[in-house]
C-alpha cells in the first residue's frame, strides 16, 4: 500500500470488536450481503438447528402429516392416475417461553423442577418476544399468500414489527449493560 492512500487497515480482532460495538455481524459491517436463503446449504440449516437445540434455545416435537402422492401409472395412458397416501414424519421447532427442564432428570426430580419453575416464574423474555413476533409475522404471511394483502402491505407489517422487536431488545440490552460509574474511579 502506498503512503498517502486513504484506505485503512484493520486487524481481524479490531473488525470483530467494531462489529460487537455496533451489535452487527462482521459481514454486515463490511457490507457483505449474502443473506439469500436460497444460498443456504442443508449443512448450514442443520448446523443452525443443532446449535439452537444443543443450547436449549429451541425445542422440538414430532409432527405427522398425511400426504398424498399422485402420479401417472403409465405414460401411454394419462387417464390412469395413481393416488398413494402416507404419513410423513416431521419435527416442529418452537421457542419455549419457559426455560426447559433438563432431559436427564428422573421423573420425581423432573416433577419437582416443573413445580419450582411454575412457582418462580422461570420466564424466558427473549423467547416470548420471538413468539410474539412469529405469531404476527405468520398471520401476515398467510394473509399475503392467500391474496388478502398486497406485497407492499405485507412488507410494511413485517418491517414495522421487526423494527418494534429491535427497539424492545435494544432497550432490554441497554438495561443489562454495566453502567460506568464515575465515582468508582
Q: For 79-113, how does the pLDDT look when each residue is reduced to its tens digit (9 = 90+)?
A: 666 777 889 999 999 998 876 667 677 888 877 87
Using an 8 Å Cβ cutoff, are 114 and 142 in contact? no
Whether 93 and 49 have beta carbons less than 8 Å apart is answered as yes
For range 10-20, the mean pLDDT: 83
Interatomic CA distance for residues 166 and 126, integer angstroms = 12
Mean pLDDT (the chain, rounded)? 80
For cell 438495561, the residue is: 175
User: Residue 61: in which H helix or E strand, if any?
Assistant: strand 59-72
Buried b (16+ CB within 10 A) or exposed e, 27-58: eeeeeeeeeeeeeeeeeeeeeeeeeeeeeeeb
For the record, the C-alpha cell of 98 comes out as 419457559
- pLDDT tens digit string along 22-80? 878 887 777 776 656 677 888 988 999 999 988 888 889 999 999 887 766 666 666 66
- Give the C-alpha separation, 22 to 30, whole Å: 12
- Would you place residue 137 in the very low, low, confident or very high pLDDT band (cuts 50, 70, 90)? very high
Amino acid at each position: 500500500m502506498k503512503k498517502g492512500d486513504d484506505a485503512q487497515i484493520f486487524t481481524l480482532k479490531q473488525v470483530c470488536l467494531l462489529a460487537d460495538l455496533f451489535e452487527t455481524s462482521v459481514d454486515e459491517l463490511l457490507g457483505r450481503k449474502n443473506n439469500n436463503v436460497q444460498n443456504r446449504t442443508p449443512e448450514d440449516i442443520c448446523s443452525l438447528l443443532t446449535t439452537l437445540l444443543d443450547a436449549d434455545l429451541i425445542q422440538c416435537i414430532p409432527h405427522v402429516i398425511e400426504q398424498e402422492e399422485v402420479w401417472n401409472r403409465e405414460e401411454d395412458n394419462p387417464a390412469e392416475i395413481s393416488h398413494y397416501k402416507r404419513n410423513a414424519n416431521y419435527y416442529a421447532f418452537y421457542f419455549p417461553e419457559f426455560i426447559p427442564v433438563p432431559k436427564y432428570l428422573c421423573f420425581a426430580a423432573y416433577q419437582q423442577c416443573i413445580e419450582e419453575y411454575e412457582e418462580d416464574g422461570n420466564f424466558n423474555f427473549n423467547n416470548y418476544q420471538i413468539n410474539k413476533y412469529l405469531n404476527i409475522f405468520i398471520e401476515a404471511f398467510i394473509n399475503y399468500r392467500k391474496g388478502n394483502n398486497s406485497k407492499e402491505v405485507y412488507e410494511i407489517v413485517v418491517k414495522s414489527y421487526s423494527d418494534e422487536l429491535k427497539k424492545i431488545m435494544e432497550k432490554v440490552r441497554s438495561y443489562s449493560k454495566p453502567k460506568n460509574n464515575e465515582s468508582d474511579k
